[in-house]
Structure 1
Amino acid sequence: MERPGGKESVPTALVPRPKPSSFRTAGPPGYGGRILEPGRQQRGGDPSGGEPGLPSTLRTQASHPSAGFTRSQDAFLAFHRDLDFVRKFMKPLLIGELAPEEPSQDHGKNSQITEDFRALRKAAEDMNLFKSNHLFFLLLLAHIIVMESIAWFIIFYFGNGWIPTIITAFVLATSQAQAGWLQHDYGHLSVFKKSAWNHVVHKFIIGHLKGASANWWNHRHFQHHAKPNIFNKDPDVNMLHLLVLGESQPIEYGKKKLKYLPYNHQHEYFFLIGPPMLIPTYFQYQIITTMIRRRDWVDLAWAVSYYARFFITYVPFYGILGAVVFLNFIRFLESHWFVWVTQMNHLVMEIDHEPYRDWFSSQLVATCNVEQSFFNDWFSGHLNFQIEHHLFPTMPRHNFHKVAPLVKSLCAKHGIKYQEKPLLRAMLDIIRCLKKSGELWLDAYLHK
């Protein structure tokens, strides 16, 4: 590795590295969770596809701009809106540049695809597709607040009988789902030019409107975006032995005679442990414990403000216990919505160990789209354009349909499959792929 300002090459292992605990503050507000947890090295490589054991900022800074174009540069461009601002935090972490003779994870990648994708991104920038329509996002926020108000009015006017309660629960579940899509926009810095403004509104929406944690979401979600559908790197495919996914994991489990559950029936018990339980049990527990364990008092205060508002609003109608049951019923309904929308874009795609592809290819094999319609756009928060969202996370969602033809053209040029499905088929494919993976596990378990 070359030292800055010198020609001497020394073994990589001899280069001193900063203490891991310093990495958390190396970025703008909310950014620390995207690198590493305090005092913890990332196993299997950093989120942006760089050198194993190195934080993403170090690897990205080393590869941008003077060390040549690498996959980590594409991740850097994809995740950050204000590049100059972010580089201010990265500069002190630059420990050197990778010498040409040193091994790199970027070998063997299609440089032409990378070059064409960067040209596509430049075209999107020239078309102002990264410029947001603030009125669009304001109207989304307004319709969420309107639904919250309607829900209260139904109970206030019609009382707390079964029918008003069920109707109100569906209205609130809808507002929660839509708030989930909206916080996603601000979390990706796709609304305002200034990162700080996005972070503040993100905390308000995910904290005060949903009772969740912005930093928890950042840490989890950006790992998913950097390494979609990669075992041990994408937390969204960490199924805690409840499911086996893809084609390689079922065979690995089968050969090792691992049978935590009867995986050949996972397409059936998915309906019991997936859609109904993800948000009201796993996410709710993980969010609260993460905020307390990391002493994230700001996010905790935002979350407490949500619960205080909810119970002040509904305890007078249901009592404390009734309000708790009501809240969890809303979470139960929202969880179905969330799981089906988020899994139809990824669970059905390639899920495997790290193949070290270029950025464009790695996103295309792990994502698929759902056909566009006004309902599909609203229902999924424009995540029916999952391909475009993964390629350009900071692009405002109302512009996905404009960049989609350019992405399709690039896929056609390089023979990369661009998958787009009807909504119902996309959901049914979740069950089909779970059944297929379960059958692979059973065959390996019995015969290999």
Structure 2
Amino acid sequence: MAPQEGAAAAAGKGQPEAGAGSPRLFTWEEVALSNGQGRPAAARWLVIDRKVYDVSRFHKKHPGGSRVISGYAGQDATDAFTAFHLDKTLVRKYMKSLLIGELAPHEPSFEHSKNKLLVEDFRELRSTVEKLGLLKPNHLFFFLLFLHILLLEAAGWFVLWYFGISVTTFLISTVLLTLAQCQTNWLEHDLGHLSVFSSPKWNHIVHEFVMCHLKGLSANWWIRHHSQHHSKPNCFLKDPDLDIHPIPLSVGETPSMELGRQKKKYMPYNHQHQYFSFTLPPIVVPVFQAFSLYYVFKQKLWREIAWIVAYFVRFFVSFVPFFGVTGALGYLLLIKITDSIIFVWISQSSHIPMPIDYDKNLDWFSTQLQSTCNVHQSLFNDWLTGHLNFQIEHHLFPTMPRHNYWKVTPLVKSMCAKHGIEYQSKTLFTGFADILRSLKVYGEVWFKAYHQEQEACTLSRE
């Protein structure tokens, strides 16, 4: 029997019967075998606070998406569970039916015992963050953010209406509307991470309005996609942000080497640092727009469809009088492209330059520090990036309201220093330049592997 089949069989036997006495005990080795690999019906077990849960069926119903929870199959998901859920008491009630046992007493609480001190220190840091109230949102802060987005949108329309259409007013209006869309990106991001309201319900309701009606995108799709990214950032095959289509890029040294050895020449990856700027950044948001429309109709998300339709109606009612139907459509596309360019450069400056590899099953703190870096704090950087210049703090505490990132920074830096982990922070433009530098390195790795394989084949034929 294959390991996965044995784990699947054990999963069926491991389910405690009603009224059963002592729970079944597991070893980390048994849990690791149930990682969902090998075949679609393979068992998926994970550990939370030493309890072993069978999510083989539940992963398809998981509110955050199947891939989020499946990414931790065979692993310890304690810190990920803590990071993503606001109302843990409520969630644990639904987890009872998934419980199949617990770790044996001789098994360490974390799979990699050498990281025991780091894991314990981070959990103590998390406890300190909660005691200091750093996970509590300032509602006035977010109300003012929302208000300034509406003012930017209104000002973009007002300039054209009051001053008439000219090159100057067109450019001013475009800048204002693009900034409004960029700031909406960050606000919907806050809502999607449940960091604006204390209630998950209100975060979801307002997130749907902001994402669907102010951007015309699907909130449901975004949550599933982005939660996967946070779950396993920069982990090849688990982080959807690394699946960069329709423009193929080769990212990460190990994946680039493997791609080269496969001799699949989709693009001249050794030149990707040269074509990146005018290919991927302008199309990401327009592609998301098209995919969102496909997704909401396929999933029959009628409320989201209504909000998205209202978004398009509002836009065309506002700008058709200035540009006509065709011109308004072109103007919409222009704003989507400019919004996309800013969004990609800002979001990717903290990830693409960092190590990208297959999942190494590291602890939560190490995973986030290895895959993220910061941009220096300033009032301008904070505003332009929606405080995502604090990517490290955001990834460690995804539900933390952004206005508290700077407060936890000294604690995170202190922990990094204690454990000899680099805390990376750079200027905004250095972050942009590092995207191109890293793409150049990855492209060179691909090129070398590709041509070494080609030369090997030629020599073998000779």
TM-score (norm. length: structure 1): 0.87
Amino acid paired to 1:181: W
Q: Deviations over 1:238-293 (max 9, x none)?
A: 1247110011111111112121000000001101211111112x211211111112
- Per the alignment, residue 271 of structure 1 pairs with 277
How many residues are paired up? 415
Q: CA deviation at 1:366?
A: 0.2
Distance 2:65 2:105 in 1: 26
- Per the alignment, residue 7 of structure 2 pairs with none
Amino acid paired to 2:179: T
Which structure's CA Rg is the greater one?
A: 2
Distance 1:233 1:256 in 2: 20
Does structure 2 conserve the Cα–Cα contact (< 8 Å) formed by 1:106 and 1:356? Answer: no
Are the structure 2 counterparts of residues 301 and 94 from structure 1 closer, same or farther at C-alpha, using a change threshold of 3 Å? farther
Distance 2:177 2:119 in 1: 44
Does structure 1 conserve the Cα–Cα contact (< 8 Å) formed by 2:44 and 2:73? Answer: no
Distance 2:335 2:256 in 1: 34
Answer yes or no: is 1:369 the counterpart of 2:374: yes
- Per the alignment, residue 196 of structure 1 pairs with 201
* Greater length-normalized contact order (CA 8 Å, ≥ 6 residues apart): 1
Distance 2:260 2:436 in 1: 20
Are the structure 2 counterparts of residues 162 and 109 from structure 1 closer, same or farther at C-alpha, using a change threshold of 3 Å? farther
Q: Deviations over 1:30-66 (max 9, x none)?
A: xx2x132xxxxx4xx8356232xxxxxxxxxxxxxxx
Does structure 2 conserve the Cα–Cα contact (< 8 Å) formed by 1:47 and 1:223? Answer: no
Answer yes or no: is 1:177 the counterpart of 2:182: yes
Distance 1:354 1:137 in 2: 35
Does structure 1 conserve the Cα–Cα contact (< 8 Å) formed by 2:252 and 2:442? Answer: yes
Determine which of 227, 230, 236 is the counterpart of 1:222. Answer: 227
- Per the alignment, residue 135 of structure 1 pairs with 140
Larger mean Cα displacement after TM superposition, 344-353 or 302-311: 302-311
- Per the alignment, residue 151 of structure 1 pairs with 156
Distance 2:333 2:43 in 1: 53
Does structure 2 conserve the Cα–Cα contact (< 8 Å) formed by 1:279 and 1:335? Answer: yes
- Per the alignment, residue 208 of structure 1 pairs with 213
- Per the alignment, residue 76 of structure 1 pairs with 81
Amino acid paired to 2:84: F
Distance 2:21 2:165 in 1: 75
- Per the alignment, residue 433 of structure 1 pairs with 438
Q: CA deviation at 1:161?
A: 3.1
- Per the alignment, residue 347 of structure 2 pairs with 342
Amino acid paired to 1:83: K
Q: Give unpaired runs (5+ residues) of structure 2.
A: 1-9, 35-41, 46-53, 454-462
Does structure 2 conserve the Cα–Cα contact (< 8 Å) formed by 1:368 and 1:420? Answer: yes
Distance 2:43 2:176 in 1: 59
Answer yes or no: is 1:410 the counterpart of 2:415: yes
> What does residue range 117-136 of structure 1 map to in structure 2 within 5 Å?
117-136=122-141
- Per the alignment, residue 67 of structure 1 pairs with none
Does structure 2 conserve the Cα–Cα contact (< 8 Å) formed by 1:105 and 1:356? Answer: no
- Per the alignment, residue 254 of structure 1 pairs with 260
Distance 2:177 2:108 in 1: 53
Q: CA deviation at 1:77?
A: 0.9
- Per the alignment, residue 29 of structure 1 pairs with none
Identity of aligned residues (%): 49
Does structure 1 conserve the Cα–Cα contact (< 8 Å) formed by 2:250 and 2:256? Answer: yes
Q: CA deviation at 1:301?
A: 1.6
- Per the alignment, residue 326 of structure 1 pairs with 331
| Aligned residues: CA RMSD | 2.5
Are the structure 2 counterparts of residues 312 and 340 from structure 1 closer, same or farther at C-alpha, using a change threshold of 3 Å? same
- Per the alignment, residue 306 of structure 2 pairs with 301
Amino acid paired to 2:273: H
Answer yes or no: is 1:49 the counterpart of 2:72: yes
Are the structure 2 counterparts of residues 243 and 106 from structure 1 closer, same or farther at C-alpha, using a change threshold of 3 Å? same
Are the structure 2 counterparts of residues 92 and 308 from structure 1 closer, same or farther at C-alpha, using a change threshold of 3 Å? farther
TM-score (norm. length: structure 2): 0.84
